Amino acid sequence: DVKVTQSSRYLVKRTGEKVFLECVQDMDHENMFWYRQDPGLGLRLIYFSYDVKMKEKGDIPEGYSVSREKKERFSLILESASTNQTSMYLCASSLSVPQIGTYGYTFGSGTRLTVV
Amino acid sequence: DAKTTQPTSMDCAEGRAANLPCNHSTISGNEYVYWYRQIHSQGPQYIIHGLKNNETNEMASLIITEDRKSSTLILPHATLRDTAVYYCIVSSLLFGNEKLTFGTGTRLTIIP
């Protein structure tokens, strides 16, 4: 089975800290995505990447950056964490050319980040 | 991407068929309908997708109307484990890549 692993399930950081959220997938997927999920707002796309060293802004990139130095790893960076970045962060990956049985995104279990 | 409209919540008795509707009246010809679900404290899980024909897999069936303006996800024999938020999404395939926009979905509760 495809696995998308997020490094932490729960994280508490202080305002102003630099925060790294790590995501690793083990099935050679080209595409990787970072979403945040807040009550009443659903999932919102922060950044995505279609290839190593490539990145594209999603719908809410402000306050975030990303890094994709290797195909299997996609990092989300909060340069200076703020309380309004308290949220559930979800990483996902997918194939560029879906094959039978491999459609859609595979999500990680999420990182619940609290900024105090 | 076209927008979708789903009911906020639904209940279904255990063992009955759960029918989850979705309106996507502005869908364009190259856009697929995708369904995902999210069980509490987990990431969303892909269920099924389709273009214009009805589709069935081991998890569910997808019925798309002839004009493609709406669809229904059917869970044929709902169990308590099917309690989740269900997302209906429409998206085109861009160069083989997919950028999916999730709304707030339908919260389905299976009643014992």
Assess contact for B83 and B14: CB atoms under 8 A.
no
B9 has a chain A CB within 8 A of its CB: no
Which residue's entry shows tokens 């309690």?
A: B83
Paired tokens of B50: 């389709």
The nearest alpha carbon in chain B to A48 belongs to B99
Residue B93 tokens, joined: 């395939």
Whole-angstrom Cα distance, residue A110 to residue A44? 14
- Burial of residue B10 (CB within 10 Å: 0-12, 13-18, 19+) is middle
* B77 CA: distance to closest CA in chain A (Å): 23
Closest CA to B81 of B48, B103, B105, B59: B59
Furthest-apart CA atoms within chain B: distance in Å: 45
| β-strand partners of A114 | A12
Minimal CA separation from B97 to chain A, in Å = 5
Q: Do B103 and A103 touch (CB under 8 A)?
A: no
Nearest to B100 among A96, A105, A106 (CB): A105
pLDDT digits (tens, 9 = 90+) for B60-88: 999 999 999 999 999 999 999 999 999 99
Q: Is B45 on the interface with A (CB under 8 A)?
A: yes
Contact A24, A4 (CB under 8 A): yes
**Residue pLDDT tens, chain B, 112 long:** 558 999 999 999 999 999 999 999 999 888 889 999 999 888 999 999 898 889 999 999 999 999 999 999 999 999 999 999 999 998 876 545 667 788 889 999 999 9
